[in-house]
Amino acid sequence: ICVSKDRLYIALWGGSGIVVYDLTKKQFVQKINLPAVQVTSMIPVGTKLWVTSASMGLENASDLQGATFLVEM
């Protein structure tokens, strides 16, 4: 979980992405899909998010499981 400005970002372990909520309007904004199943954490840097994932416990894990991603916020 991280907060940047008026947005709450929640990593979805087993959900292949991040959900974004607007804290001012108290509503869902979007889901950011990622090519990794187990999204673990993130940190905002400027207008982007560095996002980590894990490959532990996955059978036939692709090369992107356990990768770090840089995505637009």
* CA–CA dist 45, 71 (Å, integer): 10
Residues 6 or more apart whose Cβ sits within 8 Å of residue 59: none
What are the residues facing 1 on neighbouring strands? none
* pLDDT exceeds 80 at position 30: yes
- pTM value? 0.88
Q: In angstroms, rounded to a whole number, what is the distance separating the alpha carbons of residues 73 and 65?
A: 21
Give the mean pLDDT of the chain.
93
Query: Which whole number is the average pLDDT over 48-64?
Result: 85
C-beta separation of 9 from 24 below 8 A: no
d(C-alpha 73, C-alpha 70), whole Å = 10
